[in-house]
C-alpha cells in the first residue's frame, strides 16, 4: 500500500462520521425534493470512502446500478421514488 493510500484510508477513517453525515444529508435532501415517481441518478467515486459504505449510509437499495471507470471506482446508481412507498 502506498503512502497516499495509507493517508487516504486514515483520513477517511478519521472523518468518516462527518463525511457520511454530510453525504447522507445531501442524498436525503435530493430524495425529499424528488417528485413522486421521479428518478434520481447517483454517481459516487470511491476514492476515499467505499461504495459499500456509501450505500450503507444512504440506507436505500438502488433500482439498479453499475460500477465503471479505470479500476472500477465509480458507481452509478438509479433510484425511483414510487408514490406512497418509502417516502
Burial 51-68 (b: 16+ CB within 10 A, else e): bebbbebbeeebeebeee
Instruction: Output the CA–CA distances (angstroms, integers) from residue 17 to 20, 35, 80, in the order listed.
Output: 5, 29, 27
Give residue 54's pLDDT: 79
CB atoms within 10 A of CB 81: 19
CA dihedral sign of residues 60, 65, 71, 73: negative
Give residue 9's pLDDT: 61
Each residue's pLDDT, cut to its tens digit, for the chain (87 residues) gives: 455 555 656 665 655 555 556 666 788 888 899 999 999 998 888 777 778 887 887 888 899 999 887 888 888 999 999 987 755
Instruction: Output the CA–CA distances (angstroms, integers) from residue 13 to 5, 22, 41, 59, in the order listed.
Output: 12, 15, 27, 20
Amino acid at each position: 500500500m502506498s503512502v497516499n493510500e495509507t493517508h487516504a484510508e486514515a483520513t477517511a477513517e478519521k472523518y468518516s462520521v462527518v463525511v457520511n453525515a454530510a453525504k447522507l444529508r445531501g442524498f436525503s435532501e435530493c430524495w425529499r425534493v424528488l417528485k413522486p415517481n421521479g428518478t434520481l441518478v447517483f454517481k459516487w467515486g470511491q476514492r476515499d470512502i467505499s461504495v459499500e459504505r456509501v450505500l450503507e449510509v444512504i440506507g436505500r437499495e438502488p433500482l439498479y446500478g453499475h460500477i465503471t471507470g479505470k479500476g472500477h471506482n465509480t458507481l452509478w446508481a438509479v433510484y425511483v421514488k414510487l408514490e406512497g412507498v418509502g417516502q
